[in-house]
Amino acid sequence: MFRQTLTKTPHDVVLLSAVRTPITRAFKGGFRHSYPEELLMPVLTTALTRANIPASAINDVLIGNVLTELGFAKTGRTALNAAGFPNSTTFHTVNRQCSSSLQAITHIAHAIAVGQINVGLAGGAESMSRNYNPSRGIPRDVSPLLTGSGVKDATDCLVPMLRTSENVAARYGVSRGEQDEFAVESQRKASEAQSSGRFEGEIAPVNARRVGEDGSESWEVVNRDDGVRAGVTLEKLGKLQPVLEGGASTAGNSSQISDGASATILASRSWAESHGLKPIARFAGTQVAGCAPDEMGIGPIEALRNLYKHSGISQKDVDVFELNEAFASQSIYCIRELGIDMDKVNPNGGAIALGHPIGATGARQTATLLAELQRQDKEVGIVSMCASTGMGVASLFIRE
């Protein structure tokens, strides 16, 4: 069945481009004054340029977003029109928390597979600088029928993500030292990748807004991730205090709060070939899995197992894994439980170093994965992550 997965057919859903903005630190980084729509527009236009198609070729656009007012539905559509897309190109959004843009890719792929559309754009955008407020992590207006239900898993859906990290560490024996070691390695890999220029081919530069103390505005091109920390050591991370008393998750071994956007263009193979276009990869399926909400970080385990079963591939067939580093605790446990070769995981670092603009991360990982498969001249890659309320998502891509 694995060989069948690798076989090309006219009905395949293929990717024509995959790009992302730089990822910058929320509140402090290069996009701290930018609006999410200002981050989305450059990846929309760059994705078209890389795919070598006009905006009018796109039938539908689906963007993942988690935090923006009204679910980014109105401002996202405004950004689409401002970027030069015709009114005939439709727009909608999706929110599956941290996997939102990977879900966007999946939904657009499914629409193409059933013949609803020929070409679609899927991605994500998130300005955590403008829209993230830790005090809003737990909804204030929740039905007492839920909070008073007596069903533990119901109220656990409201548990802060940091607490789920501590739960995983405590229940599955992931020590503070292991978490710090994992974080140091993520920073090392990302620093090496950045200094050697590996990210340049996947990044769409952004002309970012700057607001001075006097309210004056200026603009500056941002073309580089600013969360990467060269020279991070185990000793330095060991000095950081846990965020929760008695815990092990720190600002150094958890994903960074970030701003960024990402985009991919997908099409049917028959449409691409009829227009003389060469795909860069094909989408080969997505699987999701649920887990206990208070240990949401373990979600990728069953999602990956489901994906192996669904696609017929085995773990040894996979050349590169992009596994989102929500927290070092859950990343370590997922890798350990599945027995994944660490040399294949996040070869250019992950969210601990690069950052995690939640609605945009899945398509960001996809852009990074496809670039790395090309660099290594490999074929099979997987993008996976956990998502709050207790879910895991995993998608399979085959480089062309």
Under 8 Å between Cβ of 335 and 308: no
d(CA 253, CA 250): 5
Among the listed residues 98, 107, 291, 334, the single catalytic one is: 98
Of the candidates 107, 291, 334, 356, the residue annotated as catalytic is: 356
In a 3-state reduction of DSSP, which class is residue 174?
coil
Residue 160 phi, psi dihedral angles, 5° rounding: -60, 145
DSSP label at residue 255? P
Q: How far is Cα 301 from Cα 169, in angstroms, rounded to an integer?
A: 15
- Which of 315, 293, 289 has the alpha carbon at shortest distance from 303? 289
b (16+ CB within 10 A) / e for 265-280: bbbbbebbeeeebebb
| 356 carries an active-site annotation | yes
Q: Which amino acid is at 124?
A: G
Tokens of 245: 């008393």
Indicate which residue of 107, 291, 334, 386 is catalytic.
386
The yes-or-no answer on residue 98 being catalytic is: yes
Taking the C-alpha atoms of residue 341 and residue 319, their distance in angstroms, rounded to an integer, is: 10
The structure tokens listed for 228 are 């990467």
Answer for the pair 15, 264: CB distance below 8 angstroms, yes or no: yes
Number of residues in the chain: 400
The one-letter amino acid at 211:
V
b/e burial code for range 74-107 (CB count within 10 A of at least 16 → b): ebbbebbeebebeeebebebbbbbbbbbbbbbbb
Residue 338 in contact with residue 315, Cβ under 8 Å? yes
* Annotation says 291 is catalytic: no
DSSP three-state, residue 309: helix
Q: Which amino acid is at 27?
A: F
CA separation for the pair 136, 149 (Å, rounded): 22
Helices 299-311, 328-338: axis angle to 10 degrees equals 40
List residues with catalytic annotation: 98, 356, 386
